[in-house]
Amino acid sequence: MSASSSQLPTILAVDDSVVMQGLVKQALSKEFRVLVTDNAVDALSTIYHEQISVLLLDVSMPGIDGLELCRTVRSLPQFQNLPIVMLTARDGAFDKVQGRLAGATEYLTKPFDAEKLREVIGKFIDLKS
């Protein structure tokens, strides 16, 4: 089964770590088209220009952090139902609450389990098809 990459659901991973971008790509690129960016401005530009199925956000980023980006995306009417998964090293209960309040659909901690990440994303993709 070789779907062309244009038919695969597109995942946008926003993380300022090139290592994390690579890990996310490695975990997801068989089933999804994975785009990466390392900052909020590029991320917003990408979600406007691409049909993104799921947005993966790192919380700790220089400049606009993941929570702020999440709130910004949620404030845009066309992205209110976009699944947003926070992917972060912060794993305290307070951090999870902050993630939810910012509008995150799901909250995963790093180092992430590739299988779990695929499972979580699969849940959202199935909902949309």
Number of domains in the chain: 1
User: Please, which residues bridge with residue 88 across strands?
Assistant: 109
Does 2 have pLDDT greater than 50? no
Residue in the structure block whose two tokens are 């956000």? 57
Using DSSP's 3-state secondary structure scheme, residue 49 falls into: helix
Burial of 12 (0-12, 13-18, 19+ CB in 10 A): buried
- Structural contact between residues 60 and 90, judged by C-beta atoms closer than 8 angstroms: yes
**For residue 86, is it within any domain?**
yes
pLDDT of residue 5: 54
What's the length of the chain?
A: 129
Stretch 111-119: mean pLDDT, rounded?
93
**For residue 1, is it within any domain?**
no
Q: What is the pTM (predicted TM-score) of this model?
A: 0.90
**For residue 5, is it within any domain?**
no
CATH, residue 40? 3.40.50.2300
CA distance 52 to 79: 10
Q: What percent of the chain has pLDDT over 90?
A: 78
The pLDDT tens digits of the residues spanning 68-110 come to 999 999 999 999 999 999 988 888 889 999 999 999 999 999 8
**For residue 85, is it within any domain?**
yes
Residue in the structure block whose two tokens are 């910004």? 72
Residue 55 is part of which domain span?
10-128
